[in-house]
Structure 1
């Protein structure tokens, strides 16, 4: 569990840096074009990494269909997430995204045969309550932009569950290689209509986004290899207080009391999930002993 938590630290840092890069490019470069460049940079780096490792078999897979489905859905989720970052405060985007554990738990229990124990459900419930405390439905936050991010969250949940399935037979580098390979032509096709050449500092942020794509998903894939999907994604709640501070320090976004209260609930859920041992006699939700 400790090893999985360390890999998730890399995941959280990478996603936070990626969000900053997307915010800096929002309104300047078309979202599809950002996704295209992200895939180009990722494909070059990951191909070099595999080539230098001398293990050419990592360029191959026997599960091309699942890679295609996973990465098409993940592309749709990334598009919604990138749009949301340009439309909503960073903390609100991440809070809405944190409905992912609920969808992941349901998908993983259905398709990956992972058990929904009382401890997992309680941890996820605490996290989701924290999300509602932050979002405050009816206060103007839940609007069309919010539904875009919620749709992205469902896409990410499917992608996470697919990653867990793939990680049983595929090396993380193989998963990353096919993610870039599949998403590159999709991004190119959609970006041609509004193509514009990046300039100056925009190239820096494009490179940051491309690199953090790899580090985020490599760390996530490694974490998935050492823990169940629902545990890994629940730990991802720690991303919210981190990005909230980024919003406060760099974008003058307000640090609301409700944000801190919601983040505390999420932290409690994480601590419960990581440190409280399962009762050997505890029944899985919906399953008999």
Structure 2
């Protein structure tokens, strides 16, 4: 039986949601025994094997690139984003980590404005305002400042945003597998150097979590990419928001984490701004001459 494209996109997004949740739980479990750089090192080792196998199957030409410098910049920022994300998993609730991560579109829009010269449309300005408002609801900073772990996740979201800008530029010339190959290859020494200086063998109980965090890191992005190819962002983005209530349930069931209503409200405010911007971009795309010609 052949499913429609929106249904297939929903199925791929279900795979992405499961992967993101499994990766978060794996990171939390591993943080009980390993430092963040150890986790990222083992994650990269598994990633290198997985991507190398895929490239061997699809063609070694995918290893070629003319933009090593841009790949380097992208991966420094992406590693910083991952470091903040996994560091936060050890100290704050799973829901807070995911909610703060949802600020990434805000920083991406700002980087696009300052680095790429993209215009700040009314929809983007609304998304920025609502994004920052939702962030303040989630963090609720006091006179003592921000929780260091929450600040690390926030800094990680900024790192992710900068890496997305570089990915956008690289995607014009390099295949997705090429970008993933250099991501795993370049980030391997980032985690290896501090891990070797402070080496710690993981216990046997940690090995399944190490494999899971490496596999889900790849499967999450692969599933999301397939979903975006099958359906508009207006279909995919709302499903991505389901990560928050789902991870709240996981945090409650596995770690007895309380449900913070302000985290949910703040994330909903950010999501509404993001959805307004996505709908505006989709409408602009449909009205463009190139889109009309293609249709």
TM-score, normalised to structure 1, is: 0.82
Structure 2 residue 90 is the aligned partner of structure 1 residue 47: no
Contact 1:95–1:135 (CA<8 Å) still a contact in 2? no
Go from structure 1 to structure 2 and tell me whether the alpha carbon gap of 1:151 and 1:3 turns closer, same or farther (over 3 Å shift): farther
C-alpha deviation, 1:214, in angstroms:
1.2
RMSD: 3.3
Query: Which 5+ residue runs of structure 1 have no aligned equivalent?
Result: 283-289
How many residues are matched?
A: 279
> 2:83 aligned to 79, 85, 90, which one?
79
> 1:129 aligned to 126, 130, 133, which one?
133
Go from structure 1 to structure 2 and tell me whether the alpha carbon gap of 1:137 and 1:17 turns closer, same or farther (over 3 Å shift): same
Contact 2:45–2:188 (CA<8 Å) still a contact in 1? yes
Residues 179-258 of structure 1: matches in 2 within 5 Å? 179-219=183-223, 237-258=241-262
Task: Report the equivalent of 1:171.
Answer: 175
C-alpha deviation, 1:62, in angstroms:
1.0
Structure 2 residue 15 is the aligned partner of structure 1 residue 24: no
Mapped partners of 1:179, 1:257: distance in 2:
36
Contact 1:4–1:232 (CA<8 Å) still a contact in 2? no
Mapped partners of 2:209, 2:231: distance in 1:
32
SS of residue matched to 1:138: coil
Which range moves more in the overlay, 170-179 or 96-105? 96-105
Contact 2:37–2:83 (CA<8 Å) still a contact in 1? yes
- Deviation readout 1:179-227 (Å, 9 max, x if unpaired): 0100112211110122122222311111111012212333455678899
Contact 1:16–1:243 (CA<8 Å) still a contact in 2? yes
TM-score, normalised to structure 2, is: 0.81
> 1:38 aligned to 35, 43, 49, which one?
43
Contact 2:42–2:210 (CA<8 Å) still a contact in 1? yes
Structure 2 residue 115 is the aligned partner of structure 1 residue 108: no
Mapped partners of 1:43, 1:75: distance in 2:
15
Query: Which 5+ residue runs of structure 2 have no aligned equivalent?
Result: 288-295
Mapped partners of 2:225, 2:265: distance in 1:
30
